[in-house]
Amino acid sequence: MEKSYTFKFNSSNALEALKAGKYDPIDFYEARLSLFNLSVMADYDQLICLPTLTAIDKYWYQIETARKVLRQLGGRALLADEVGLGKTIEAGLIIAEYIARGMVQSLLVLTPASLVSQWQSELSDKFNIATITTDNRDPQQPINSFWTDNPRIVASLNTAKSAKHYPEVTSRNWDLVVVDEAHHLKNRTTLNWKLVNALNKRFILMLTATPVQNSLVELFNLLTLLKPGLLQTEAVFKKEYVDSRNGRIPKNPEKLRSLMREVMVRNTRALVDVKLPKRFATTITVTPAADEEKLYQELNEYLRSAESQLDRLSRTNLLMRAGSSPGALADSLKQLTLRLPDETLKSLARRASQVKQVEKAKVLVEMLTKSRQKTLVFTTCKATSTYLAETLLAANIPFAEFQGGMSLKQKDEAIAAFRDTVSVLLASETGGEGRNIQFANAIVNYDLPWNPMKIEQRIGRIHRIGQTQDVFIFNFCLKGSIEEYILRILHDKINMFELVVGEIETILGNVDDEFDFSEIIMDIWLKHQVKPELDTAFEQLADNLLKAKNQYQQIQELDEQIFGEDFEA
């Protein structure tokens, strides 16, 4: 530090004035300070949006990235951080800064369909940026007025490129376009690429952790969208920069890198120096009691045969609740019988409410009795949580509760109790969101969300910066349940619990653009009734995911070779 850093304090007019006691009215002082602040803002030395963004953890490299894109790259950039470093936050910071400076009024975010609502809520909750999406478009509104009347839109790439929407989205001007999962633009002959190329845009941000998947020409295609002409024509690019025998190997790498630096930022975990402790996952498969097992089987028989009576959402809901607890199932069944007076449903509801001995709860009590660790017990359903609260109380295990509907004060108290006095926090899906609970190092997924990203969010509550101890994850499931199969795939086959946060999302995206894990497993579950068939179908799904994981790892290695650490903010 000594040699590489020098500090000099100079005399100034202000110092002299202080010495001489030369005072001016406060208005002059404030004007002088305001002027200086403008000069700090001029070159983005200071981001004016930062003080207003209180709902996010802002890491220094994200701020550096935003500064670099604003200051050096002129608002046209490929954000290619490694998975899990927060490209969305970086994009959000850039959007918020442009909006705060009045440089951006209109915004278009293009994402895969599965991420549309996530983008909308992140922009709204974390950056106070209201948007409308193609998902919640009023069907009565004409398509052209949807695209022209709304200044800030989050759209599915597929919708935007469809024949009905394409002419409208490309006919207006956009101040800023953000394309998430931009590797979908790698091919210049696709409609995806043509759409983004045709947009009238001033600034553009493209986000992907894997800019090059198969060949360097993909990079050419992406960078041409950002800065047309930067890499000249495809023929010249190939001749100048691509090895003629292998399209993945750069020729003239230094020159290529120096050009890429004009449009690209790629932060690596090595730069960020985030060393998270290990995480260990254990599946706890509980053998259900006879009445539990019978109930589960009969429910499944009903769901498989009730395709014409029950919509898909209701069937999924019932099965998820059955995986949570008999109480949660009973609640849903009772609700359902109100609008669908079906004798089988009524009988199932009755039997679900009669189950008194819940085996999963017994195992949980045994586990918590022996454990000394601060443990976060997640449940999805209120009824399950209520049942667990009663069970823990009866077992004399002190605990605190953190539920979504609680007031801020109650939530604070729950966290304080968990930190200071009790070892168990019974939490709903939002449990601990936005709070520092890294003092805990064990998680129990008493019921399992079918969406792997939700499981990841739960783990992320404690496996994050600030965690110093190894993290233990206990996944509960009933033997023979759909959750058992889910865990077999996610845990045993693709080792999801050992992946870095964010990787599972990329892997699932590699299977198919619109791949929806929970829908696929529900399909398989309802379609196959006998165990061998179920085993084969889930095995097939696991193989596909494994292939996607391998493909992701290969791409990651390729990108590591091509980009290394040369594009850090």
Partner 1 sequence: MISDPIIATLEKIISLYDGIVEPAGEQILNALLTENIASLLSLPEEVTFTTVVDVPQSIFVTYHSEILNKLSDLLATKGLISALGVKFDGYLKTTGFEKSISERFVVQNGLMRFLSAKPEITRYILCNVSYTANADEKRIGLVSFMINELTGVTPVEIGDALFWESDKISLDQPETSLSISVDELFSLIEHESAILIGKSLENWQAKLIRAKARDEDRLKAYYNTISSEIRHKIDSKHLVGEEKDKEVARIEATERELSRKLFDIQERYRMSVEASLHSAMVVHIPTVHIQCELQRKKAKRTVTAVWNPFTKIIEPLRCELSGKPVYDFYLDDQSAKIISPTAWLDIVNLK
Question: Residues interacting with partner 1, by CB under 8 A?
Answer: 1, 3-15, 17-19, 21-43, 45-46, 48, 60-61, 64, 102, 271, 565, 568-569
Tell me whether residue 26 or residue 290 sits nearer to partner 1 (CB atom): 26
Q: Give least dist CB 42 to partner 1, A.
A: 4
Tell me whether residue 70 or residue 319 sits nearer to partner 1 (CB atom): 70
Q: Position of tokens 């017994």?
A: 362
Tell me whether residue 96 or residue 179 sits nearer to partner 1 (CB atom): 96
Q: Is 475 exposed, middle or buried (0-12, 13-18, 19+ CB in 10 A)?
A: buried
Q: Is 385 exposed, middle or buried (0-12, 13-18, 19+ CB in 10 A)?
A: buried
Contact, 447 vs 381, CB < 8 A? yes
Q: Give least dist CB 48 to partner 1, A.
A: 7
Q: Give least dist CB 84 to partner 1, A.
A: 19
Q: Give least dist CB 153 to partner 1, A.
A: 22
Tell me whether residue 272 or residue 330 sits nearer to partner 1 (CB atom): 272
- Name the 3-class secondary structure at 503: helix
Tell me whether residue 3 or residue 370 sits nearer to partner 1 (CB atom): 3
Contact, 508 vs 521, CB < 8 A? no
Contact, 238 vs 217, CB < 8 A? yes
| Torsion sign, CA atoms 381, 386, 392, 395 | negative
**Interior/surface letters 428-451, b for 16+ CB within 10 angstroms, e for the rest:** beebbeeeebbebbbbbbbbbbbb
Tell me whether residue 275 or residue 339 sits nearer to partner 1 (CB atom): 275
Tell me whether residue 39 or residue 309 sits nearer to partner 1 (CB atom): 39
Tell me whether residue 33 or residue 55 sits nearer to partner 1 (CB atom): 33
Q: Give least dist CB 564 to partner 1, A.
A: 9
Q: Which two tokens stand for residue 309?
A: 């009576």
Q: Which two tokens stand for residue 499?
A: 């992946």
Question: What is the DSSP annotation of 515-557?
Answer: --HHHHHHHHHHH--SHHHHHHHHHHHHHHHHHHHHHHHHHHH
Contact, 105 vs 172, CB < 8 A? no
Tell me whether residue 559 or residue 568 sits nearer to partner 1 (CB atom): 568
User: Which ranges constitute the DSSP H helices of 395-530?
Assistant: 408-420, 452-460, 482-487, 503-511, 517-527
Tell me whether residue 1 or residue 408 sits nearer to partner 1 (CB atom): 1
Q: Give least dist CB 1 to partner 1, A.
A: 7
Tell me whether residue 11 or residue 244 sits nearer to partner 1 (CB atom): 11
Q: Give least dist CB 71 to partner 1, A.
A: 8
Give dist(CA 291, CA 535) in Å, integer. 24
Contact, 480 vs 293, CB < 8 A? yes
Q: Give least dist CB 296 to partner 1, A.
A: 53
Contact, 184 vs 218, CB < 8 A? no
Q: Give least dist CB 210 to partner 1, A.
A: 23
Give dist(CA 4, CA 449) in Å, integer. 51
Q: Give least dist CB 39 to partner 1, A.
A: 7
Q: Give least dist CB 374 to partner 1, A.
A: 31
Contact, 109 vs 176, CB < 8 A? no
Tell me whether residue 202 or residue 227 sits nearer to partner 1 (CB atom): 202
Give dist(CA 523, CA 485) in Å, integer. 13
Q: Give least dist CB 144 to partner 1, A.
A: 23
Residues 6+ apart with CB under 8 A from 549: 494, 507, 510
Q: Which two tokens stand for residue 97?
A: 């800064």
- Name the 3-class secondary structure at 294: helix
What is the rounded end-to-end Cα distance, in angstroms, of the chain? Answer: 21
